[in-house]
Amino acid sequence: MTEFVQGNRVILLENGREYFPALEAACDAALSEIHIETYLFEDDCAGQCIGGALMRAARRGVATHLLIDGFGSRRVGAPLVQALREAGVKVLVYRPEIALRFQRQRLRRLHRKIAVIDARVAFVGGINIIDDMHTPGHTPPRFDYGVQLEGPVLEHVHAAAKRLWTIVQLTQIGTGWPDDDGPQPDTRSRGIQSAAFLVRDNLWHRNDIEEAYLEAIGRARSEIVIASSYFFPGLTFRHALAQAAARGVRVLLLLQGRVEYRLLHYASRALYGSLLDAGIEIHEYHKSFLHAKVAVIDRAWATVGSSNIDPFSLLMAREANVVVDDERFAGELRASLERALTDGSSQVRPELWHHRPWPDRVAHWTCYGCARLLTGLFAYGPAQEFT
């Protein structure tokens, strides 16, 4: 069961236009310590903005830590990394091997996006350190969310960031010895919101995020809204959604409409027929690339994070989500999703979907079979879960 802590202040941040200024301001106000983890760190305007804030902090004596993924951030330029290190920023690479060979551990990436400043304020969500307009052909910005946190939940976010930094540092020769010094988390009450911080790893927290979803879906009485850039759930998750729809809950999925990664895109569409037949609404977002990984249930329970509803997020990658039990926050996120539904998406109609051309069906089911095979080969847990 999700363990909420009370007394938090949770601020919803939509897209990089809200996220990066808030993160930069927090870094510029840092007095003692910064931890940032990200899958993508690009040498573009966003990377230079946050990188500049990290360098300014390091030069004034702040212990500044940047942990990037070895595959997701493989294109970050050596000059930027060198400039960061010369300024005093400690930079580590999670699994620095670039080649994704067919080995299970090579596919286990650092996908979570976390920042903790002075153990006083934290940022969690799905937004990488990359310009919203980075994807070629973009006109509107990439659609994503993050949250800014203050309050008792900081204890859990700070501990997770420190723990992973220590693990990576201990396993990489020549990166120094972990420093136990640093501020203690500021756990004083900062608001009235109940929140929980959840991670997914391969040890003690392999299923925490998925179980939180399933718990909330099982309790739903009126509405479930899920926005996910990659939606390829297993049987248990699909059955939970179908059962909710069967008991009269409106279940609405806002999914990626544009093709970014063909395998997962077409594999997920193979599931549309059974979902539509269960009475689940599917809307595809076409205005820009959907990168959001959020949900609102009964307009009171909400989650924002890095975890997609697919086997790579739920079974393999390191992820982090914040769950908020608060009607005001859930209402704000629900209103934002409603705007996306109205302005940038189109509904998939069952009668049209079941009469789509046969080449489309072949492509969908071929990709579905490949995705299942990869899941069975490389993910922990039974492959039949994703049948």
**In this structure, what CATH number is given to the domain that contains residue 85?**
3.30.870.10
Residues sharing a CB contact under 8 Å with residue 360, sequence separation 6 or more, in sequence order:
none
Render each residue's pLDDT in the chain as its tens digit; 387 residues.
899 999 999 999 999 999 999 999 999 999 999 999 999 999 999 999 999 999 999 999 999 999 999 988 988 878 899 999 999 999 999 988 655 454 444 567 899 999 999 999 999 999 999 998 766 555 678 899 999 999 999 999 999 999 999 999 988 876 677 676 789 999 999 999 999 999 998 778 889 999 999 999 999 999 999 999 989 888 999 999 999 999 999 999 999 988 776 777 677 788 898 999 999 999 999 999 999 999 999 999 999 999 999 877 777 789 999 999 999 999 999 999 999 999 999 999 998 878 777 677 767 767 767 766 666 555 544 433 444
Residues 239 and 164 in one domain: no
Active-site residue set:
111, 113, 118, 291, 293, 298
In a shared domain, residues 189 and 311 = no
Is residue 312 domain-shared with residue 370, that is, in the same domain?
yes
Q: Answer positive or negative: Cα dihedral of 333, 335, 339, 345.
A: positive
Residue located via tokens 């990869």: 374
- Asked if residue 275 is part of any domain, the answer here is yes
Instruction: Let me know whether 204 and 189 are in one domain.
Output: no
Task: Judge if 139 and 207 occupy the same domain.
Answer: no
Is 240 within the bounds of a domain?
Answer: yes
Q: What b/e string do you get for 347-381 counting C-beta neighbours within 10 Å, with b at 16 or more? A: ebebeebeeeeeeeeebbeebbeebbebbbebbeb
Shared domain for 50 and 188, answered yes or no, is: yes
Same domain, 110 and 212: no
Answer yes or no: is 71 within a domain.
Answer: yes
Distance between CA atoms of residues 236 and 379, nearest Å: 16
Do residues 270 and 276 lie in contact, with contact meaning Cβ atoms separated by under 8 Å? Answer: no
Q: Which pLDDT value is given to residue 261?
A: 67
Instruction: Specify if 178 maps to a domain.
Output: no
Q: Which of 193, 224, 241 is the endpoint of a domain? A: 193
Residue 223: give the domain boundaries.
200-381
275 in the same domain as 247: yes
110 & 25 share domain: yes
Greatest Cα pair distance, the chain, in angstroms, is 64
Which of 163, 193, 223 is the endpoint of a domain? 193
SS3 at position 160: helix
